[in-house]
Amino acid sequence: MFCFVLSSIALLTFVNNARAVWEDLISDSLTDYKTFETYWEYLYPWGQDHNGSARMYGASDDHNHVYLEDNTIVLKASRINWDEGKSTADPYPVIHYHSGAIHSKQTFTINDQFPDYEFKGEFIAPTKGGTWPAFWLNGAWSWPPEIDILEFKGNNVNWFNTFRTSSDVSTRKDTVSNPNTWHEYRVWITKVSNTDMDIHFYIDGEWKAKHTANHVGKPFHLIMNLQMEGSSGGNGPSGDTYYKGRNIYVGRSNNNCTGDCAKKAAATTTVAPAKTETKAPVQTQPQNSNNNNSSNDDQWEVLIDDSLKDYKTFESYWNYLYPWGQDHNGSARMYGASDDHNHIYLEDNTIVLKASRINWDEGKSTSDPYPVIHYHSGAIHAKQTFTINDQYPDYEFKGEFIAPTKGGTWPAFWLTGVKSWPPEVDILEFKGNNVNWFNTFRTSSDVSTRKDTISNPNTWHEYRVWITKVSNTNVDIHFYIDGVWKAKHTANHVGKAFYLIMNLQMEGSSGGNGPSGDTYYKGRKIFVGRTNTKCTTCGKKATTTTAAPAKTETKAPAQTQDSKNDCFSYPTYPCCVGNTVYYVDEEGSWGVENGNWCGIKSNASNAANPSTSCWSKELGYNCCTHCSVVYTDESGKWGVENNNWCGITC
């Protein structure tokens, strides 16, 4: 193991780790079996079996399926013609192959001492149907976490996956030209907070994607394996299959690399993550949400609310059908108009979409992938479009829904690009079962997904997103169900106009044939609001909604107003009787009483007295200048100030 002092460019990435040096953990490990077995173990860390139909074989005296050849590791899968039972690992497939796997002897943990890691290698990967090669990081203590650096599933598409939980997954898919020749696959991982790290993915030195995950402090195994069938989507080949790797490398920054380690340092390694080449100058990372560009006097305006009480009101906010017409990617064709409420109708301040199976030939959908039309159904979209930018840095979209979950049903409440697809943000999407999909499409292959099993989705549940501008290009998207925060995605959606759509599509991605009877999808209390930094008519502050990106819903207490005028906000806003702070700007501290904003007197007996120590700075958030707690987690107590999270220190 050798350490290298970082070059001056590389040191820019370590402004908080000025004494860090770079050390090689695995390099040139494939020259001979003695060297190889110094760094690597045969099989998986847990044994021979995993989630495919190949059982792994290999040992110091068995190189039939794991062997070295010209500084290259070769894994060979061979089909067997006898019964060897089933895999001992879930989902317990029948064993059809003997193959090879290796894993590093050392495990790898991102933490304060080792805040940066690089994993890379060159590979020739099989892509025939039924082949499933991978080069990946897997939790040493539990699964998840998982980070897939290379994964092909029976074709020439590589999957970069990051599993935070089994249902919270980010994926980037790239079609690789001629994967049966050598290509380099690489990840650069860097610690960005006490819990989170950024994971940068590359192919042949070209930056492809960044995922963020709460994997700090979790040890990883590094694995290379040739699994078969399983997720590759079909039967594997009858002949032998080969998967080759060379120039496999692991390195990291070490903040405590001293003594002999530091003496060996040499300015030879630049480790900053690059978008355009393997090693390049530092990139500027997106700001945290507390650094958005909205000013202190941002104003909240309601765009859609109470729009479902009658058809006149409804049609002032909503259009029938999709923005582009009747068809989309499922087997339902949409019908609806001012004089046609068979599939789109109002009922007790509720919008109802009804899908009915047809028994005649209506041809195919005009949209890719052109499925045969089996249903008439309903879709609506907002007349207004929505763009996150400097003037409108924050948006809230929410509603309560009863969603069908039978096989073949596909309801959704979602945002899609006006000028192109992607972008897309799915607020509600069920695919024939009781799992809701929160999806964010940056490109067709760069997707973040959070999946949540909903207890009884056939009753009312609230689905919500809060979107806030965090840089010139990026937004943070916070997802909630019934007021409970579920996930955050980051996407380059600033300046992109969105449609808001509610539709009941059928079959397609729902995974099967739809029902023969009618299907209903209901929505109520659909709301859209935003911050408007240039609003002069909507009032200093609106009180119809809570604009802060809350992790749990909070409602202001009802209190009696005080008519005394000894506060900064009088006479525009009354003075508060109490001193509970809900918002702070350059004018002072604001409370909410009787559903209205009020100014808190500067001499209030329980005024905020925060300490000088700001614990939340380490997590990328300023500390509050008040003491009103709206959320508590393992990090501490949180408030909201200027529409941003802040740490409570009092």
Name the active-site residue from 23, 146, 429, 462: 429
The verdict on whether 424 is a catalytic residue reads yes
Structure tokens given for 591: 């409370």
Question: E strands within 404-540?
Answer: 409-417, 424-429, 435-441, 446-453, 461-469, 475-481, 484-491, 497-506, 519-532
DSSP conformation class of 260: H
Write out the H or E segment, with its range, that includes residue 300.
strand 299-304
Instruction: Indicate the SS3 state at residue 101.
Output: strand
Q: What is the CA radius of gyration of the chain?
A: 28
The verdict on whether 146 is a catalytic residue reads no
Size of the chain, expressed as the number of residues it contains? 650
Contact present, 193 and 16 (Cβ < 8 Å):
no
Contact present, 354 and 289 (Cβ < 8 Å):
no
Contact present, 428 and 412 (Cβ < 8 Å):
yes
Burial readout 164-180 (b: 16 or more C-beta within 10 A, e: otherwise): beebbbbbbbbebeebe
Q: Is the dihedral of CA 11, 17, 19, 20 positive or negative?
A: negative
CB count, 10 Å around CB of 630?
19
Name the active-site residue from 122, 151, 424, 507: 424
Contact present, 13 and 282 (Cβ < 8 Å):
yes
Chain-centroid distance, C-alpha 32: 41
Q: Could you tell me the CA-to-CA distances from 230 to 123, 363, 544 in Å, in that order?
A: 21, 35, 51
Closest CA to 437 of 428, 445, 446: 428
Catalytic positions, written as ranges: 424, 429
